[in-house]
Structure 1
Amino acid sequence: MKITSKLSAHQEPFINIESSNHYDPKSILKEEIIAINNENAEEIKSHILTTDGMVLIDTQMYFSEPQIEVFEINEESVVMDFISCNNVETQIDQLESEKYTKENTHNIFYTTKFKATFKIPAFEQINYLSIILSKEFYYNIINEDWELHEKFSKNILFKKSGYLTSKYLPFTPAIQWIISEIKNCNRDGALKKMYIETKIRELLIHQLETLNQPKPNELIDEDEYSKLQEAKQILENDCAHAPTLTELSRLISLNEFKLKKGFKACFGTTVKSYIIKLRMERAKELFQTKAATVSEVAYKCGYKDVSHFSAAFKSFYGFSPQKFKINWDIIQLWITGLLLLA
């Protein structure tokens, strides 16, 4: 499997990777960082992880003039695609893609041979994360017969290029969190390989679950569904200061009854329950990444009363925030000890 990426203004690709198609649990994880910053105000930074059957590419770009990027994969592969930028015009051979990228959206696609052309505007911060898997690697991290990707699996069997779903969908908080964990992983060697592969599997499961969610109720038209998606995004953007139902209804120009009924029909949960879910996931993230007290986390998650936060946390996770914090600190000490021994 060979992967290249180049700007049309340059002869040489800035990414040029070869990886075996075979899945080998004993293969090592290679790491490469590409950094280009020249007098023409071209800035490219790409962090690449490679092992047999898998290539992970995290790329940021910024240009003072419009550019054209050509990205190619020479063999069949499954690509987990995560876009964190807007306004990039996209043309993909063999795939019917959306014309312009949308920030914080994702999809999965299978391709027998991939070639994409991206028209990158000037003065736009470009960021994408692509996890490219050989067919053998893909089927080693997921059950081939799993119902969640039955149709997608048949496309792979018959070598039919296509997306898992017709449109890129917004990141969920869980997907955002796992992407952050992958990008900020500071482990080395075999531990890093084990960690990254575990996170790819976890990310894939969240993608499949999200992309296979039931379609909205037929009684909900496209305009109303778009407003419900907007409401969901508003909550995700700042769950600590989530608007009231009345305020949210006003923000998206949809009456409260349709908001409550439509939100439940489209996303399988109430507005209130979704806010709690977002806050609890945020609390877990804060406990895992910062040495924060329970009262600090409660405040940052939108709770003025620590006891209300503790009760909500215990109801959501089954144990108190104090117990979670103690257990997480012990796990971190154990991992640090393993790394020191290694």
Structure 2
Amino acid sequence: MNREFIDIKDFTILVELAEAKEALVDICYFDEPVIAVAFYGSGNVHLEVEYAGEQQSFNHTQGLALSFYADAEVQFKHHVSADRPLECLVIATSLRHIESLPEQEVALFQELLDPLLHPKGHFVPGPQFYMSAAMQHTVDQAFRNQLEGKAKMMFFRSQMTALLAHYFGELSKSADQSLPHDTLQRLDKAREILLANMEEPPGLSDLAAEIGMNTNKLKQSFKAHFGLPVFRYLQNQRLEKAHELIRSGGTTVQEAAWQVGYDSLSSFSKAFAQKFGYRPSEIRA
């Protein structure tokens, strides 16, 4: 497990990476009341939030952006396993620092995260959604960078600014465009079907029929909820899974490509390089 805290002015960035051959629980907490946004990379870990005898659970965390208020009584428990590594980047600021932020930033918090500024409990979940392609790319870069020292601080300052800008931008756009609960449940089911059948995914019409939705509505709603068209999303998840397989060792590049549904090694390598900025063979270097 690797946990790193990076302090930048009134914000703290928490970078968490955890892999395990056997199931384990990664626990973290904050020493004082904070408002934070957690951005989840690959792994799809199960999250439990425990406080004052209560518990809230979050499934399907892969690609999730989740805001919250939490005080020192709250414990965050990530359930990590061999096929569910943890990649989580948290940007947090203490409640007492909010008023000292630049005026425009304070206005964004007040407009879009007001319930977190006036919490009624130890833990208050805020808006959550699955990240856009641009946000996912920014999170991927954070976990793949190899910088040190001052260059690393500059890098994370820029990533923090980009992620918060994207997060508030997405909140502003979606404020009046939320999908019905029934539609969200069907979309989550569609996502589960795709991830369970990466090698041979169903066609769009079959997927739509399986979740009880017409094809056009599936295409429009899926992109609105997850930030990508159906099969662009699937490709992204295939590449994330392949990266995990290669990085964990014991799986060749060719085997990883096959396991996530690529017959052509050259097509796989090209798509991989476009997403991560380097070829799959460079992971072991």
- Normalised by the shorter chain, which TM-score bucket? 0.5 to 0.7
User: Does 1:46 pair with 2:18?
Assistant: no
User: Does 1:274 pair with 2:229?
Assistant: yes
Could you tell me the percent identity over the aligned residues?
A: 12
User: Does 1:162 pair with 2:124?
Assistant: yes
Instruction: Indicate the residue corresponding to 2:149 in structure 1.
Output: 189
Is the contact between residue 60 and residue 125 of structure 1 (CA under 8 Å) also seen in structure 2? no
Q: Secondary structure at the match of 2:16?
A: strand
Is the contact between residue 222 and residue 229 of structure 2 (CA under 8 Å) also seen in structure 1? no
Residue number among 152, 159, 162 corresponding to 2:113 in the alignment: 152
**TM-score, length basis structure 1:** 0.51
Q: CA deviation at 1:98?
A: 3.0
Q: Secondary structure at the match of 1:182?
A: helix
Task: Say what the alpha-carbon RMSD is for the aligned residues.
Answer: 4.7
For 1:152, the aligned partner's letter is: L
Instruction: Indicate the residue corresponding to 1:202 in structure 2.
Output: 162
- How many angstroms apart in 1 are the aligned matches of 2:88 and 2:24? 21
Could you list the per-position Cα deviations for residues 177-225 of structure 1 after superposition, in whole angstroms to 9, with x for gaps in the alignment? Answer: 21110112223333322221111122223333445622115xxx61x43
Could you list the per-position Cα deviations for residues 41-99 of structure 1 after superposition, in whole angstroms to 9, with x for gaps in the alignment? Answer: xxx33344344431323131537576583x331223222223444345431359x7632
Is the contact between residue 164 and residue 211 of structure 1 (CA under 8 Å) also seen in structure 2? no
When residues 164 and 190 of structure 1 are mapped into structure 2, their CA distance, relative to the original with a 3 A threshold, is: same
For 1:78, the aligned partner's letter is: I
For 1:58, the aligned partner's letter is: E
- How many angstroms apart in 1 are the aligned matches of 2:113 and 2:269? 43
Instruction: Say which structure, 1 or 2, has more relative contact order (CA 8 Å, 6+ apart).
Output: 2
- How many angstroms apart in 2 are the aligned matches of 1:215 and 1:108? 17
Q: Secondary structure at the match of 2:140?
A: helix
Is the contact between residue 215 and residue 266 of structure 1 (CA under 8 Å) also seen in structure 2? no
Q: Secondary structure at the match of 1:74?
A: coil
Instruction: Indicate the residue corresponding to 1:215 in structure 2.
Output: 178
Is the contact between residue 144 and residue 153 of structure 1 (CA under 8 Å) also seen in structure 2? no
Is the contact between residue 59 and residue 128 of structure 1 (CA under 8 Å) also seen in structure 2? yes
Q: CA deviation at 1:298?
A: 10
List runs of 5+ in structure 2 lacking aligned partners: 238-265, 278-285
- How many angstroms apart in 1 are the aligned matches of 2:76 and 2:154? 33
- How many angstroms apart in 2 are the aligned matches of 1:298 and 1:67? 33
Residue number among 60, 69, 75 corresponding to 1:116 in the alignment: 75
- How many angstroms apart in 2 are the aligned matches of 1:125 and 1:261? 31
Is the contact between residue 47 and residue 76 of structure 2 (CA under 8 Å) also seen in structure 1? no
When residues 141 and 123 of structure 1 are mapped into structure 2, their CA distance, relative to the original with a 3 A threshold, is: farther
User: Does 1:143 pair with 2:99?
Assistant: no
Instruction: Indicate the residue corresponding to 2:249 in structure 1.
Output: none
Runs of 4+ in 1 over 4 A off after TM superposition: 63-68, 119-126, 209-212, 232-244, 265-269, 275-282, 296-301
Instruction: Indicate the residue corresponding to 2:250 in structure 1.
Output: none
Is the contact between residue 30 and residue 72 of structure 2 (CA under 8 Å) also seen in structure 1? yes
Instruction: Indicate the residue corresponding to 1:246 in structure 2.
Output: 205
List runs of 5+ in structure 1 lacking aligned partners: 1-43, 283-295, 302-320, 322-327, 329-342
Instruction: Indicate the residue corresponding to 1:4 in structure 2.
Output: none
Q: CA deviation at 1:116?
A: 0.7
For 2:164, the aligned partner's letter is: L
Residue number among 195, 216, 231 corresponding to 1:260 in the alignment: 216
